Amino acid sequence: MTDIWSFLLQTLTASGAAALLLCVKAMFRDKLSPRWQFGIWGVLAVILLLPAGFGGRYVLLNWPLWVESLKSALTGDFGTLTKVIVPVPLPPATPPGTVFDWLFLVYELGAAALLARYVISYIRLRLALRKGRPAQNGRVRAVAAWYGLPACPAVEVGGLPTAFICGVIRPVLALPAEGEADDKVLLHELLHLKHKDVAWGWVIAFFRCLHWCNPLLWLCADRAGNDLESLCDQRALERLEGEERRDYGRILLSMADERYARTPGTSSAANGGKNIRRRVEAIARFKRYPRGMALASVCVALVLAVPLVAGVRADGDCPAVGGTDIIMAYGRTTPCTTYAGAFDTYAKAVMTQHFGYRAMCAPLSEQNALAEQGWRLRPADWRWPQVSWKDKVNAQAGYQIYNLTPAGENAYEGLLVFELYSPPNGEQWSGLTAERWLAVQWLRAEKEEERWVVIPQEGIRAVPGDQRLGSNLGLPCRVYEARYGDWLIQARWQTTAAVNSLVQNSNGFWNTASFDSTPKPRAQFDQGYDHYQFWAVYTGDPDKKSGYTSISLATLPVYGAEDREPELIDPSYLDTDSSGTSNWGNGFGNCILEDGWEDRVFLSGGGGGVDWGADGAYLAPSAYRAILYLNGGQAAELTLLPVEGGEWIEP
Dump pLDDT digits (tens) for 197-215.
Answer: 888 888 999 999 999 999 9
Residue 522 phi, psi (nearest 5): -115, 15
pLDDT attached to residue 211:
92
pLDDT tens digit sequence for 181-196: 778 888 888 888 888 8
pLDDT attached to residue 385:
45
> SS3 of 77, please?
coil
581 near 587, Cβ under 8 Å?
Answer: yes
The rounded distance, in Å, linking the Cα atoms of 312 and 55 is 10
Number of CB atoms found within 10 A of residue 498's CB: 21
The rounded distance, in Å, linking the Cα atoms of 100 and 106 is 10
Using alpha carbons, list the distances in angstroms from residue 614 to 340, 354, 412, 522: 9, 27, 13, 11
Following DSSP, what letter does each residue of 524-588 receive, concatenated?
A: ---EEEEEEEEEEEE-S-GGGGGG--EEEEEEEEE-TT----PPPPPGGGGGSSEEEE-GGG-EE
Indicate the angle between helix axes 292-305 and 41-49, nearest 10 degrees: 30
- Which residue positions in the chain have pLDDT lower than 50? 270, 378-387, 433, 647-651
The rounded distance, in Å, linking the Cα atoms of 22 and 336 is 35
Helix (H) or strand (E) holding 142: helix 138-147
Paired with 511 in beta bridges are 506
The rounded distance, in Å, linking the Cα atoms of 102 and 111 is 14
The domain ranges of the chain are 1-96+289-314, 129-282
> SS3 of 109, please?
helix
- The C-alpha angle 243, 247, 248, rounded to 5 degrees, equals 115
> SS3 of 401, please?
strand
Helix (H) or strand (E) holding 282: helix 276-284
